[in-house]
Amino acid sequence: MPLGLLGKKLGSTRVYNASGVLIPVTVVLAGPNRVLQVKTQAGKDGYNAVQLGFDEQKEQRVTKPLLGHIKKQNGVAVKRIKEFRNFSKEVKPGDVVGPALFAPGDFVDAIGVTKGRGFEGVMKRHRFGGGPATHGHKGWHRRVGAIGQRLFPGTVLRGFKMPGHMGQVKRTTQNLEVIQVREAENLLLIKGAIPGAEGDYIVIRESKKRPKGWKPPVSLAPMKKKGAAEKKPAEVKK
């Protein structure tokens, strides 16, 4: 995780790029992130990492062990703390980082907790097709169908898709493009959808599959068929 930030999902909107194309984006409050601790390979921790804190709050709302850890690093009480290993930017405790870590055109991964949907049936939870809608199938339009066996093994197989709790799980959306960086407002405008509801905390990290400097592969021109004659432009009669 070379670069990363803690943020808060604010909502969705649309912006125009330089070519006048309308792009749907998610607005993320990505700062300020305060550096709480820097761990090094040569130190007692034995690995390189940076601890970032986001969203300041009152000290009485933080546990005493955590507050002691923060005070030891001369930091302030925060609501969220995240450790990023192998942080590629040189920082020290007390520094403040923000959306300027990224630039328009960079690709990031967004990590968040999806919206909770409560108890859902198989059609919504697992996208089942449901039963026939014709007559003679009363009460079987949205049911699972057969789930067990007869004599052997006589039980429901583990992991069978059934109704149950949907959502509220940790998910990562990869390869999202940064459209705008508004450093003065600590905002990142990212193309696409990000897991979670408005106001949820998320993690924005440098894309694992498309790091800084990544460019799409060059598309090859269509190959000409062997023996195919080139068409000459038709002559214009005067």
Q: Domain residue spans in the chain?
A: 4-117+168-206, 118-133+151-167
For the chain, what is the radius of gyration of the CA atoms?
26
d(CA 109, CA 5): 11
| Residues near 212 by beta carbon (within 8 Å), at least 6 away in sequence | 106, 206
Q: Residue 45, by phi and psi: left (phi above 0), alpha (psi -120 to 50) or beta?
A: alpha
| Rounded-to-5 percentages of helix, strand, coil across the chain | 10, 35, 55
Judge contact between 203 and 188, C-beta under 8 A. Answer: no
d(CA 236, CA 238): 6
What does the pLDDT read at residue 18?
A: 86
What does the pLDDT read at residue 235?
A: 66
- Tell me the whole-structure pTM to 2 decimals: 0.80
Tokens of 235: 């002559």
Judge contact between 110 and 206, C-beta under 8 A. Answer: no
Residue ranges of E strands in 68-115: 78-85, 96-97, 107-113
Q: Does domain 4-117+168-206 have CATH number 1.10.3080.10?
A: no
What does the pLDDT read at residue 234?
A: 62
What does the pLDDT read at residue 229?
A: 60
d(CA 206, CA 100): 13
Judge contact between 75 and 14, C-beta under 8 A. Answer: no
CA angle 226, 230, 231 (to 5 degrees): 145
- What are residue 185's phi and psi, to 5 degrees? -100, 0
What does the pLDDT read at residue 1?
A: 54
Q: What are the pLDDT tens digits along the chain (238 aa)? A: 588 999 999 999 999 988 899 999 999 999 899 999 999 998 888 999 999 999 889 999 999 999 998 888 888 899 999 999 988 888 888 889 999 999 999 999 999 999 999 999 999 999 999 888 887 878 888 988 888 877 887 888 888 999 999 999 999 999 999 999 999 999 999 999 999 999 999 999 999 998 888 888 876 556 666 665 666 666 666 5
What does the pLDDT read at residue 9?
A: 96
Judge contact between 24 and 194, C-beta under 8 A. Answer: no
Q: Give the count of beta carbons closer than 10 Å to the beta carbon of residue 235.
A: 6
